[in-house]
Amino acid sequence: MTSHDKRRQVLYWRLLARLFDPEERATLETASLGVVEDIGLPPALLDPQVSVDSIVQRHPGLAAEFDGLMVPTPVSTVDGYADGGRDRAAEVRRAALVSKVLLNVFAAGSGTVTAGQLARWQSDAGWLERALGCQPGQLRAGRPTAGAGASPTGSGGGGTTPDLSQLIPAIGPQLGAIEADLVKRMHLREVLADPALAARLTPSMSLIEQLLRDKNNLSGVALANAKALIRRFVDEVAEVLRTQVAKATVGALDRTVPPKRVFRNLDLDRTIWKNLTNWSPEEERLYVDRLFYRHTARKTTPQRLIVVVDQSGSMVDSMVNCTILASIFTGLPRVDVHLIAYDTQALDLTPWVHDPFETLLRTNLGGGTDGTVAMGLVRPKIAEPRNTVVVWISDFYEWQAEPLFDSMAGIHRSGAKFIPVGSVTSSGRGSVNPWFRERFKDLGTPVISGHIGKLVHELKTFLA
């Protein structure tokens, strides 16, 4: 074992010791400090109370080293040995930087959390995502990483982006769980009552869930700050979803409608090709006796989209995402969107569906689940089954399972498109009642689960 190997081992032993026990071990701390100073890195790198942002602000050159830090690099070979080309000194430096990021993110401590501490953790989590070749917030939001061979999305990374679903399958949900725990440990009402502290909060799904649960207990400045945070989060998520929806929301070309004969629709390439027989070699001139135009008319059959969302405590993430998604589809031409939320009672939110912020403020999280009450509102809305899609988002742990499934099967048999969705969450995780899952599969309408992008694709396919 070389001296570099021993140094790297010291840094990783210290990391493991601090992750499992916050108490310092003097021997490991002293040895690690000696290693860090010897390789020219700042001693503050070992202090878990110092954020990565602070380190980078004091030492700007380190920013590029953190970007893509944990993206695997190809193994080099020298004389046929896989480790012959290893830069062991660089591995020690990398171990020190990796230890900093991992310790700051995964050693979240215990006790009450302030707004400043939450903001600092969110920033450090962003640096971990950048180290893995992703955009800050990408893993916590459950957005898929780029495929193999693509450049990492961190601002300064190099190499290729790993397949994180294979490398570390639980990293996104784990980050989300830590963030949710930090939010729960905050004295949120006191923070919201102080505009300066509230301004330091970074909107996240965990924070929005807490705000929605507690909104009826807030008033005055605290309520105003809570609403501002909810609106910020809604706008940020809506921007991402709007981009996904906009990629393919137009209908198919309707070739039964003659193309409009205007210059902007002129198909120049086809016109030249079809008139080549009129080419005059002597005059070097092409005589055009027929013009060809592109089709631009699109099918405009009205479509009705009915979104039913389980607002029980286990489905908060899905409810927020789908409320925003419904508002986006509301803005599309020839799409009539209806939104229903339910627990043991059903609420028709269609009048507010264009504004997800107002819609969310009218929801009440928690309670049991009885989809039959929502079905009572859905059936009258299905006027033309062939032009209707019903999206039902739930974990399907229902009080009256068989009557509800029979009603859903009836919608499917009527000619309407029925899309059961188990989860469209930030993390893509969700538990679905296996009884319902098997019956939906037999019906030919398998449950969609995962990232909300899957639902966007299904809806665009039907509505196009």
Extents of the domains making up the chain: 3-180, 253-297, 303-463
More confident residue, 103 or 266: 103
* 163 phi/psi in degrees, rounded to 5: -80, 95
Query: pLDDT value at position 255?
Result: 54
pLDDT > 80? residue 139: no
- Report the SS3 class of residue 224: helix
- In this prediction, residues 125-144 reach a mean pLDDT of 78
237 alpha-carbon distance from chain centroid: 8
Query: pLDDT value at position 147?
Result: 35
Contact 102, 16 (CB under 8 A): no
- In this prediction, residues 149-161 reach a mean pLDDT of 38
Distance CA 430, CA 176 (A): 13
pLDDT > 60? residue 133: yes
Contacts of 12 (CB under 8 A, 6+ apart): 95, 99
Q: Of all residues in the chain, what percent carry a pLDDT higher than 70? A: 79
Query: pLDDT value at position 331?
Result: 73
- In this prediction, residues 185-207 reach a mean pLDDT of 84
Distance CA 309, CA 35 (A): 55
Distance CA 46, CA 31 (A): 11
More confident residue, 145 or 388: 388
More confident residue, 341 or 141: 341
Distance CA 416, CA 305 (A): 10
253 alpha-carbon distance from chain centroid: 32
Alpha-carbon Rg of the chain, whole angstroms?
28
Angle formed by the axes of helices 452-463 and 316-330, nearest 10°: 30
**What are 80's two structure tokens?**
């046929």
Query: pLDDT value at position 323?
Result: 82
pLDDT > 70? residue 252: no
> 349-353 contacts: CB < 8 A, separation 24 or more?
349/323, 353/326, 353/327
pLDDT > 50? residue 145: no
| DSSP 8-class letter at 383 | S
* Residue 78 binned pLDDT confidence (cut-offs 50, 70, 90): very low
Give the pTM.
Answer: 0.60
Lowest mean pLDDT among 78-92, 249-263, 408-422: 249-263
**What are 56's two structure tokens?**
């980078």
* Residue 123 burial by Cβ neighbours in a 10 Å radius (0-12, 13-18, 19+): middle
Distances (CA, A) of 381 to 133, 228, 350, 390, 411: 46, 34, 11, 10, 11
CATH number attached to the domain at 303-463: 3.40.50.410
Question: Alpha helices of 350-400 — where are they, by DSSP H?
Answer: 356-361, 371-378
Mean of the per-residue pLDDT values of the chain: 79
- Report the SS3 class of residue 295: coil
Distance CA 11, CA 39 (A): 12
Query: pLDDT value at position 34?
Result: 92
Contact 301, 252 (CB under 8 A): no
- In this prediction, residues 87-115 reach a mean pLDDT of 89
- In this prediction, residues 335-362 reach a mean pLDDT of 87
Number of other residues whose CB lies within 10 A of the CB of residue 441:
12
Query: pLDDT value at position 321?
Result: 77
Name the one residue in this structure whose structure tokens are 């660089």.
90
pLDDT > 90? residue 374: yes
* Residue 170 binned pLDDT confidence (cut-offs 50, 70, 90): low
Note the pLDDT tens digit of each residue in 15-32: 998 888 877 788 898 999
Query: pLDDT value at position 1?
Result: 63
- In this prediction, residues 188-217 reach a mean pLDDT of 84
∠ CA(382), CA(385), CA(391), 5° rounding? Answer: 70
* Residue 249 binned pLDDT confidence (cut-offs 50, 70, 90): very low
Number of other residues whose CB lies within 10 A of the CB of residue 283:
8
∠ CA(183), CA(308), CA(141), 5° rounding? Answer: 35
Q: How do beta strands 285-286 and 448-450 pair?
A: unpaired
More confident residue, 156 or 251: 251
- Report the SS3 class of residue 409: helix
* Residue 83 binned pLDDT confidence (cut-offs 50, 70, 90): low
